[in-house]
Amino acid sequence: MKTHVNLSIEKDLVKQIKAYAEKRQTSVSDLVEEYFSKVVRPVKKSNIINLIESLEKPKIEENIDLKKDFYEQQSSKYGF
């Protein structure tokens, strides 16, 4: 459920905010809500290693030579 909030902001800044919102094709209310959502509920930052380890592992044939395959693709792409 949404509710109204009154804010006091300098007129010049309000003009800039409205122009920014229009440029992003959104409303000032949505900008304010998005900002406060990030402040109140910050995104949990994770370690890049944990992120990589959480990704699904690619399925690779056991007897494929990845290095050879890479160079073959590059030679056909770039004519080496």
- What's the pLDDT at 43? 67
Instruction: Tell me which residue of 26, 45, 22, 48 sits closest to 35, measured CA to CA.
Output: 26
User: Which residue has better confidence, 74 or 61?
Assistant: 74
Are 18 and 29 contacting, i.e. CB atoms less than 8 angstroms apart?
no
Confidence of residue 17 (pLDDT cuts 50, 70, 90): very high
- What's the pLDDT at 20? 93
Tens-digit pLDDT profile for residues 21-64? 999 999 999 999 999 888 887 667 778 888 888 888 877 777 88
